[in-house]
Every structure is written in structure tokens, then in C-alpha cells.
Chains A and B, each alone.
Chain A
């Protein structure tokens, strides 16, 4: 199936790969925001995950170890943010921005010895004959395991938030922390755990970039993916399945602009590179233009510090 010089099947298959890191980070941040915390450090946690995953995979020779390392590194970065905002009551916006800047600098430092190295290859899942089905096989059954992991994460987070008691408690904490406290729930503990989960997801997303999608380490390689993930959460109005939809939409735009560049479209490359970010801004403006609707979806205590009284 070809349109001009674009192969649609390849396009769809590669947009799933392109979308996976931002989807992972967005699902993590969605849980964090559902708990009422706004962590703007997604970019910093992602790139820390990217460099630690890369370094560990190269050193141990095992991509799986690298992924696990990235998860731990992301969660530790998030824990810094958690302690700052939940225990020391620092401002969430400032702490999140600081975390991003810290992550960018820290990863550049750690990554110095790893520039230009090729990481160990991550095997694709073997679906046997399934992957030979025309069109569908190519789109659905020729990916690495993490693409499917990201889909499981969406389903898992959705089920957990809507169907389980602990998920309900997390939403309650994000909706109204004073009420949750009055009922005897541990607001801080819930929030710190959510923040660490968000960091782990962002870290894994980062490692996916450096180990599978690119795969290589370059300084600042996340290139705003963390910010797109943050925007995605708003775009998804804090619903996991919509986050999936949004991630594939953004992934599609990213892949399309790369393909258009490659196809030699007579159009300045810079505009194409800008397009995912411009569209992010556009989507955010459209989403927040109706105040009533946005306020309905956002967790009630989002971004507010919780001070236990009495």
C-alpha cells in the first residue's frame, strides 16, 4: 500500500515504535497527576533513564538489565522530587523544572564515555506465522516486547484506576486531599509512591529511546519527548486509553515529518521538525479553551501542596 513515496504499512508500524517512549512517560505522569501531583520533571527523568539504561546495557551486555536500571534510575530521580515536594513542601512547578534541568546536565555528564557506542541489540518478539499475515502482521506482530509492554501498561493502569480499591484511593487523594486525609488515608505516602511509579515509567520510556528506537546515546536525545508526554496527559483528559490514542497521533506526526523530510519534500525541514511541538501547543489550547470541560476532567487537588492539619 503506497501513497506517493510513502508506505502506509511501514508508517503505521514505525509510528507505534515512535510513540512508545512518550506513551510510557505519559502513562506514568497520568498516574502522578491522578494522585494530585504535577511533576514537570518528566523530561529529566526520561533522559536519566535513557543514559543509565544505555550505560548499564553496554556494561553488562544485557538490554534487560539496562531497562531495569533505567526503571530504578527514573524512580530514584522521582524520589528526589517526591521528597522535595511532599516532605519538604517545595513548590511543585519549580521542583519539576529543576528536576528536568538536573536530569539533562547529569545525563550529559554520565553519558560522556558512551557517545558513539552501539548498544546490545534487543530481540524482537517472534510470533511465528502471525507476523507473516499481510499488512496486519507487519503492523501488529513484528515489534519488540516493549511495544506490547506499553500497551499492557495502558490497560493495566486503566483497570487499576477504575476497578481496584487502591486505584480508587489514589484518585481520591488527587481529587480532594483534605477529604482523603479526614478519612484516614495517607496522602503523602500515596503521592510519593505515585511519583516513583511515574519516574519508573519515564525512565523506561527513556531507555526505550536510547536502546531500541535510536539506538545510540547522544546528549539531550529525548529532545522534548518528556514535554510532549506532559501535554499528552492533558490531551487525554487524564484517561489512559485516550493517552494511547494521543501518543499514536503524536507518534504519527513525528514519523510522518521524518518520512516527508526523507522523501525530499520541497519544504524547509525546520518547519517539519517543529510540527509535533506546534501541534502539541495547538491541542493544549483547544483542550483548555472550554474552561468548564477542562476543570471537570482535571483532578481536583492537582498541583496543590498538602499540609496535614491537626
Chain B
């Protein structure tokens, strides 16, 4: 029998204090799309880094077509025939597409020749791309194309894709899948890492499930349900967020004709955004990253000032107020970037609790900090939101992404906001923690607050939001009730069809 393309045998990687991978064994055959499933921290990234030569395993071996394979550097892996599309793109904003592609190749041809080949390959695989454009100006989908084409130009046998769809619109996902199926038909193998189970079910014929660094299951995802896959991943039955239907109350947050220039050169300015959120309502805002999410959050939180009347909180104009003044009035925000924006990495959880809770929780009296009160507040957040940490004295940086996310969301929710704005509340958070955060948002709405949920995870919006609007190029579409909304309609909204740019939708 022909040996498999790549065979992993008992691969183990130990970091000081952590076993990232333990005795991992599986095979990838030619022309196979193999899924690697697992929660954050299950060891998927370490494993693919070992295959790509960025990490050297402590034990075990890999065989490439039956021959021992132990890459010490990505260049070695590339020359063997392994290519990788990274989760966080390994691109350079201030360089053009051709230069970015050249940087990922071992022996790039001269730029002009390379540009011609980029155009050729991108057309062959239905991924149009202009080699002379600056990468900083590209959308997330286009950036991913740069990565994929960079890989394809080296004619790999095995393509590793780490969470490729997390930043794509449904239409872009379709294009990507068409390309991947074409590659499979050409006999190439793909190792596909994701936690989006529906995608894996539609694309992959084998799956290996990791939990805590070990293989806990193998299956054919086409024969499993999304739920059974998720439970294999988490190792326990999942709690689905639940809510009671409630009549929305009065309008708490009204944004009228809000236009804000982006402070960053590669950002997107907001163009005449309108939205209205009522008490008890969760208003979901979808869209691909970089379409004005950061600017919208900044404008709502008070980091980017705007005209006074363009943002009204319970009828009061707050557009010119700064973040602390808005907090005092009940408008709270939890931004996307946990370290450095939502929390100060080197400060303790107590200090971080103080940073946003000072006014509403009365933690500061006449300019003096009430440390015991601040600690009590931090401990309350830790307790109520099941933040796994030795205590409130621990620095924010030391927490895992999911735990810190629970802390920063919990910190805002416990301040009883009348309006809460969250951006990507469950990004990089494992399934059970994500369910807990979503439940907390639902409970908050239930208690009469208005919640604005900005997210790139459409499933999340569909699961808990009442209304859906799409942010595209800094413009916000008219909202639609989530009930009865199909993925196709959402795709059109995200593509800009509903904001008046009908031609972009195709």
C-alpha cells in the first residue's frame, strides 16, 4: 500500500509547565481534506507549527510519504511541500501584494515576473487579486487571498489552513471553499483547522479532535451533527443560551446621522450611521473586520467625539462627552482588544476593575482610591463570571484570553449599564465560556438594558440578537429582525447591497 502523504506518530511537545501536545497520531492521505478540531488551547496551533517547522517536538516522529520528516525551519517545510495559511495573517501592510508574496517564497523570481504569475494563478483559482495594491488597503478576504496565492505559487502537496474563515463574509467563504475543492480535485491535501463545525461538515472527510493536547476522537464529520462534534470537542454536553421573549421598552440609545473620521490611516470612517436600540433589545451589528467596527465602538464609548446630538442616551445628547462622563450616565463599552484596550495588561484585576468601575461603583472618594471596595468589586466579578484566576491581585496579562474576556465583560455588566456596547465578546473564547458570556448578555437585556453586539461571528448574532444590521465601508444598513433571516440575505447585507451599493453584492 502507498504510504500516506503525512503521518504523525506519537508527537509530543512539552513547554515548561504545560503539555501542549501528547502522543498525537494521525495520517493525512493524498487528496484528503482533514479537519483538526479543538477548543482554544487544545494544542492545534502547536501541532501545526511542528508540521511547519516553527516548533520542534520533544518526542515522536513524522513521516512524509514514508520517509522521516523533521523540519527545523519553515523553509525546510516549504521545500518538502508543506505550505501554511496563517490565522493571524503574516502580511506586511506597507508593502504591496507582490512584495508580500515574494517574502513568503524561498527563491522568488524578479517582481515583474512574479506579478504576472500572481495574476495567472489568482485567475486560475477564482481569487482575483491585483499584485500592485498595498496590502494595508485590502479587505480581510483579499488579504487571505494573498496568503493563499503565496502558498499556491510554491505548488505545495499539503496546505495547512488555520481558522481561515473567521474573518470572511459568507460569500467569501463560498469562494474559498470552491478553491479548496478545486485543490482537492487536483490531488492536493489540506489540513483544515477550525472550530466552525458546519464548515467542517461540508468540507472535510476526516476529522481529528483534540482536547487538552490529546486526541480524543476521530470521525467522519459528514456523519456527525454539529452538536455531537461540539460535545466531542468540549467533552461535556453544551448549554444553549436561552431567553424569554419580552416586549422591548423605550428607546435608550439613538444614533442619528453619525459621521466620524477614522483616526488611523488604514481605518474606515463612519458615514452617516443611524441606529436605535430599545430597552430589553440586543442589536446585532455584523460585518467583516475593518469596515468601521473600531470607529463605531470608539464613537459610542466616547473615545472619538462627535456632534452632540448625533448620539443620544435616553434622550440626552452625549456626542461630545468623554468615556467617563458617558459611563456615569450608564453607557458602558467593552472593546474587542482585551489586552491594552479593555484591560491594562500589567495591572492587577483589582486595578483593572477600578479603571472602568470607579464612577459607577463609587470606588474613588475625593480623589482617593478605596482599595478594599475595588478589590471587593473585582472579586465579585471573578465570582459571578467564573473567572479562573488565583485572585484579584493577578495581572490581567496572566489570564487566558477566555478568562480575561469573562472578566472585562462581567466588569461592565455588574455595573448595571443602561446601554452596553460590546465588540467581539466571544472572540478567541472557548465554547463553554462563550455560552456563559452570551447568556450574561441575554440576562442583561432581560433586565431592561439595551445591548449593542458588534461581532464578526454571524452565528453568535443569530443566536442572541433581536435585530441585525450590517456594517460595510463605514455605513450601517437598515436593521432587520433576526427571526427568519437567511444566510443569503445576511451575505447580501454584508456585501453592501442594503446600503445602496447594489453592484458590490455580486
Contacts and interface: CB of A to CB of B under 8 A. Distances in A.
Q: Do A and B come from one complex?
A: yes
Interface of A: 165, 168-169, 171-172, 175-176, 178-180, 182-185, 291-293, 295-296, 299-300, 310
Q: Give the interface residue-count category, chain B.
A: 20 to 34
B265 A310 contact: no
The 5 nearest A-B residue pairs measured at CB: A184-B74, A179-B90, A182-B90, A292-B265, A175-B92
B263 interface: yes
B26 to A, nearest CB: 21
Contacts, number: 61
B92 A182 contact: no
Contacts of B55: 310
11 contacts: A165-B102, A165-B108, A176-B90, A179-B91, A180-B90, A180-B103, A182-B90, A184-B53, A184-B74, A296-B265, A310-B49
Nearest to A293: B265
A300 B94 contact: yes
Interface string B451-464: 00000000000000
A171 B264 contact: no
Contact of A296 (B46, B74, B92, B94): B94
B73 interface: yes
Given A176-B93, A310-B54, A291 B263 contact: yes
B474 interface: no
Nearest to A165: B108
B75 interface: yes
A292 B89 CA distance: 23
A184 B75 contact: yes
A175 B100 CA distance: 11
Interface residues of chain A: helix, strand, loop or mixed (majority): helix
Contacts of B46: 310
B264 A172 contact: no
B125 interface: no
A114 B74 CA distance: 53
A172 B92 CA distance: 7
Contacts of A295: 264-265
B298 to A, nearest CB: 14
B286 interface: no
Interface residues of chain B: helix, strand, loop or mixed (majority): loop
Most buried by A among B89, B94, B102: B94
A168 B86 contact: no
Contacts of B86: 182
A292 B95 CA distance: 17
B281 interface: no
Nearest to A169: B103
Most buried by B among A171, A172, A183, A291: A183
B92 A300 contact: yes
B102 A168 contact: yes
Given A165-B102, A172-B92, A183 B265 contact: no
B406 to A, nearest CB: 23
Interface of B: 45-46, 49, 53-55, 73-75, 86, 88-95, 99, 102-104, 108, 263-265
Given A168-B103, A295-B265, A179 B73 contact: no
B93 to A, nearest CB: 6
Contacts of B95: 168, 171-172, 175
Nearest to B92: A175
B264 A292 contact: yes
A179 B92 contact: yes
A138 B264 CA distance: 48
A165 B103 CA distance: 8
A184 B73 contact: yes
B153 to A, nearest CB: 14
Nearest to A292: B265
B55 to A, nearest CB: 6
Contacts of B93: 175-176, 300
A168 B95 CA distance: 9
Nearest to A294: B265
Contacts of A165: 102, 108
Contacts of B73: 184
A300 B92 CA distance: 9
B264 A176 contact: no
A165 B74 CA distance: 18
Contacts of A169: 103
A300 B136 CA distance: 11
B99 A183 contact: no
A185 to B, nearest CB: 8
Given A183-B74, A184-B75, A168 B90 contact: no
A159 to B, nearest CB: 14
Contacts of A300: 92-94
A180 B86 CA distance: 12
A299 B95 CA distance: 11
Nearest to B102: A168
Given A178-B88, A185-B103, 18 more contacts: A168-B95, A168-B99, A171-B95, A172-B92, A175-B92, A175-B94, A178-B90, A179-B90, A183-B74, A183-B90, A184-B54, A184-B75, A292-B263, A293-B265, A296-B94, A296-B265, A299-B94, A300-B92
Contact of A176 (B49, B92, B99): B92
A183 B75 CA distance: 8
A293 B265 CA distance: 7
A165 B99 CA distance: 9
B137 to A, nearest CB: 11
B213 to A, nearest CB: 14
A293 B88 CA distance: 25
Contacts of A178: 88, 90
A217 B94 CA distance: 43
A169 B102 CA distance: 10
Contacts of A293: 265
A172 B264 CA distance: 21
Contacts of B91: 176, 179
Contacts of A183: 74, 90, 103-104
Nearest to B75: A184
Contacts of A296: 94, 265
A81 to B, nearest CB: 25
A183 B99 CA distance: 13
A172 B96 CA distance: 11
